């Protein structure tokens, strides 16, 4: 197994630990686990490029690990406020809905045997960055407090990028599907 894929699997395996810590109200420990997960996300991509260890398996596994971590955190932090701050319902619908739509699109393309390569868009990378920042700041509230307006601003920016990248993926999927039908 290649090192980047090992790091991605580690991120998948620590997600249940993060959930357990949050449900037990060990927020500072959950914050540390989340930071570790974020570092493995950055490191696996960097190592894949530097060590030339990109793989087709990794190109599917990495976004899946991101989705698992982010969706899980968004859902839990929607229900469990951290020192009075929680992920708002509208942001959960946008972020989780986007990921559900993208995964559904992948399955439809796969079922119809449409060939495609998993390559993240710039807007998608920015979406992931802002989603990670959102969770980081909400979990980090147990350690450091930001002015209230920064949370709302971050929520809105995350929603905008989530919507834009979701729209771009849907448009690309529809184009691939139309080309396949011709």
Task: Using the predicted structure, report yes or no on whether residue 13 has a pLDDT greater than 80.
Answer: yes
Q: Are 9 and 64 in contact (CB under 8 A)?
A: no
Distance between CA 41 and CA 131 in Å, rounded?
A: 13
**What is the token pair recorded at 127?**
């979406």
Distance between CA 128 and CA 116 in Å, rounded?
A: 21
Q: Specify the 3-state DSSP secondary structure of 82.
A: strand
The CATH number linked to 7 is 1.20.120.1760
Q: Specify the 3-state DSSP secondary structure of 182.
A: coil
* Domains: count for the chain: 1
Which pLDDT tens digit goes with each residue over 55-68? 878 778 888 899 99
| Nearest residue to 73 (alpha-carbon basis) of 38, 22, 11 | 22
Between the CA of residue 134 and those of 40, 91, 102, 175, what are the distances in Å?
18, 10, 20, 32
Mean predicted lDDT score pLDDT of the chain? 91
Task: Place 115 in a pLDDT band, splitting at 50, 70 and 90.
Answer: confident
Vertex 47 angle, CA 44 and 49, to 5° = 110
What pLDDT is stored for residue 44 in this prediction?
87
Residue 134, domain extent: 3-181
């Amino acid at each position: 197994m290649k090192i980047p894929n090992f790091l991605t699997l580690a991120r998948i395996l620590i997600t249940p630990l993060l959930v357990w810590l949050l449900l037990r109200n060990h927020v500072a420990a959950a914050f540390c686990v989340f930071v570790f997960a974020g570092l493995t996300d950055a490191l696996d991509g960097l190592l894949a490029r530097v060590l030339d260890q990109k793989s087709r398996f990794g190109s599917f596994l990495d976004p899946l690990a991101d989705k698992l971590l982010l969706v899980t955190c968004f859902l839990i932090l929607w229900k469990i406020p951290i020192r009075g701050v929680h992920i708002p319902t509208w942001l959960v619908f946008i972020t989780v809905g986007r990921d559900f739509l993208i995964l559904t699109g992948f399955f439809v393309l796969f079922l119809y045997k449409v060939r495609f390569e998993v390559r993240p868009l710039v807007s998608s990378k920015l979406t992931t960055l802002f989603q990670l920042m959102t969770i980081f700041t909400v979990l980090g509230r147990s350690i450091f407090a930001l002015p209230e307006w920064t949370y709302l601003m971050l929520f809105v920016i995350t929603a905008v990028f989530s919507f834009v990248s979701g729209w771009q993926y849907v448009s690309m999927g529809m184009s691939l599907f139309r080309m396949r039908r011709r």
